[in-house]
Amino acid sequence: MAFALVAVVVIAGVACAVLARGRADAQRRLAEVSAERARLADQLTAAVTERDDLRGQQEWLTAANHRITADAERQRERADELATRLEAAGPPAEHPGDADDDGLWRLLLAHVARRWGSVVGVPPEGRAVVSGPASAQLAEALTREVERLREEVGVDVDLVPVAAAGEQGAARLGDDPADRVPVLLAAVELLGVLASSCQQVTVEVGDTVTLVGEGRFDPAGELAAVRDRAAAAGVVVGPLVADDEAERVEVSLHPAAPANVAG
């Protein structure tokens, strides 16, 4: 009887141990399943968020593409309209080289206007070139270059208009189509050197362009080099008039000879 009771107790203990182990295994598997479920839920949330983000980006890109396409179409139509108007309004060139010279001149004026406008804050629609003779356009371009250097470099630069002193019908600076582009390029280059090497610069614009620099410091002789390059390019440029003791320098650009003026 006692033996049977002991056997029953032993069997019950073994059963309890087996049940406890099974319960622990079940709880462990349940924890693993819960963790996997949580991981999958996080992945699902991330995937849904990424899908929503991609959908938003797709919608934005689609709208942007529509805007760009519409803007490109408007620009094409405007370009076609301007080309038609230019073709209808443009007069024929009197000489074979006039069209090319005028195109280079307008390109240079537009370049000066763009640099000036970007520095002083003038929008593209306010950068038009003055109508009239090339001498007036040259004066306007130099005025704009002076304003640009004053704002960008910070040097004291002034432009002084000078009344024309030449005879009636005499050649004016910029009248010769073959001369105006080199003259403006030379003036811009000389002005740039003076603005970087002098404390004060004055530009006198009339029948000639005279550039005067005060407080000059140009140990490398850059101004003389630019003056020589301008002369080599065919520009009628006077000699440098320098006063080292007074730290002053002056150089003038002159119109081409009357014989070179297109008639």
> Picking from 165-179, 188-202, 236-250, which range would have the lowest pLDDT averaged per residue?
165-179
The pLDDT score that the predictor gives to residue 224 is: 94
Q: What is the pLDDT of residues 42-74, one digit of tens each?
A: 899 998 898 988 888 888 878 877 776 765 566
Find the mean pLDDT for residues 80-102. 51
Q: What per-residue confidence (pLDDT) applies to 12?
A: 74
Q: How many residues does the chain have?
A: 263
228 pLDDT more than 90: yes
Long-range pairs, 211-216, Cβ under 8 A, ≥24: 211/187, 211/250, 211/251, 211/252, 211/253, 212/248, 212/249, 212/250, 213/248, 213/249, 213/250, 214/247, 214/248, 215/247, 216/242, 216/247, 216/248, 216/249
Question: Residue 19: what pLDDT?
Answer: 78
Q: So what's the pLDDT on residue 96?
A: 41
| pLDDT reported for residue 83 | 55
pLDDT grade for 236, boundaries at 50, 70 and 90: very high
- Residue with more model confidence, 14 or 98: 14
Residue 237 has pLDDT above 90, yes or no: yes
pTM over cut 0.85: no
